[in-house]
Amino acid sequence: MARQTSQRTFDRRTAHAGPLYIAAGTDNHTTNLTVAQQDVILALPASGKTETINLPPPNETRGMFFSITVQTDGDGVGVLQDQNEGDPAYTSGNLTAADDHVVVYSNGMRYIEVAELTT
């Protein structure tokens, strides 16, 4: 009798290790997310500065949700965008206070905003 082996495949949609924490600094900064970084906790940057969070291309994230939540108040701004690869391109409202958040869904062609709370 031949021995059977099972092969496991890597599923990038379920392979993430919890939230990614971004502690923005004093400079304007951009973070490019990967498909495994679906939950993001953001500490806002210093006054007058912006933390831009780029989503992966939507054709790589079909069926996936991304959630960005501000952890602490700050004087800077957080912005979520899709690197202008969606049609139409997606950009969130400004995240400026603790508990501001945005949740987006990828249909494979663009990001669709599911929920947003900005103050």
Beta strand spans in the chain (E):
20-23, 29-32, 39-43, 50-54, 65-72, 77-81, 101-106, 111-117
Instruction: Give this prediction's pTM.
Output: 0.77
* 3-state percent breakdown (helix, strand, coil) of the chain, nearest 5: 5, 40, 60
pLDDT per position as a tens digit, 45-99:
888 888 888 898 888 889 999 999 888 777 788 888 887 665 678 888 888 888 8
Angstrom distances, CA of residue 53 to CA of 29, 78, 92, 95: 9, 8, 10, 11
For residue 68, give the nearest of 78, 58, 77 by alpha carbon.
Answer: 78
